[in-house]
Amino acid sequence: MRHAVAGTRTPDSWMDRRLHRPLSHWVTQAFLHTPLTATQVTILSLAFGLAAGWCFGQGTLLSGLWGLALFCLSAILDHSDGELARATATESSLGHFLDNLSDGLVALAVVAGMTWSIVAHLPPDYLALLGWAIATGLPLCFLVEWRLESLRAATPLPDHQPLVLFRTMNTLTAREPLYIFLVVYLMVTGSEGGLAWQGLAWAFAGGLHLFWLLLVTVGWRFFGFRTMIRGLSSERNYKPEKG
């Protein structure tokens, strides 16, 4: 996801520097010779991300490989839309909103697709417990992250804390952990053992709950637990830089 603090672009992660950003530069240069707008590129990124989620939901190695390729392409376009907006001086509040919304929907689609295929490979006696664990962990991750991002955008923090929080959130929400889990998922889809799917399901459910607990810890550290629950009485908005 692309966020910013104090008008500064989100620092690129390892995958961004090694893969997404070098390719997005070439894509953006090509887009500059077309009538495509940054918003249209954002929609393309979302479309490829949703298609990736559908592929992961099929639960086969071939569909998973297609899903990984589409997810990578979605990430490249997610960089390209911001580059195109800056190159054409067409940045806007709507563009920032659509960019962030697209990131969230893509992540949700990919995770939901894997969840669907994992549950489909589990024996019935596992479904109740693991279904409950995943069904509670998935929405908690997105709700807590949404709350924390809202507070980060609206709360004035003293001294160097905004930068520390910014870097912490950027680390936690980077694509690298998802890429790692996708590789493990592909290894499991290539196996025939039911135990591998059960192990993946437990790791997936545990990872979801660990993620939202880490976010709650970050929110408690910077804003206090009461503010995390109740929110702010008044908010100060800013416009983050896209891409």
13, 149, 173, 189 from 237: Cα distances, Å: 26, 12, 21, 44
Q: Is the model's pLDDT at 188 over the cut of 70?
A: yes
Question: 3-23: per-residue pLDDT in tens?
Answer: 443 344 556 677 888 889 999
Distance of CA 61 to the CA centre of its chain: 22
The band of 58, judged by pLDDT with boundaries at 50, 70 and 90, is: very high
Round to whole Å and give the CA distance between 131 and 41: 35
Amino acid at 114: M
pLDDT for 238: 40
Round to whole Å and give the CA distance between 243 and 240: 9
Degrees (nearest 5) of the Cα angle 89, 93, 95?
70
Mean pLDDT, rounded, for 89-106: 86
In what helix (H) or strand (E) does residue 161 lie, and over which residues does it extend? helix 161-172
Strand partners, 5: 8
The reported pTM is 0.77
Domains in the chain, CATH or no CATH each? 14-230 (1.20.120.1760)
pLDDT for 132: 81
Q: Is the model's pLDDT at 233 over the cut of 50?
A: no
The band of 81, judged by pLDDT with boundaries at 50, 70 and 90, is: very high
Question: 201-213: per-residue pLDDT in tens?
Answer: 888 889 889 999 9
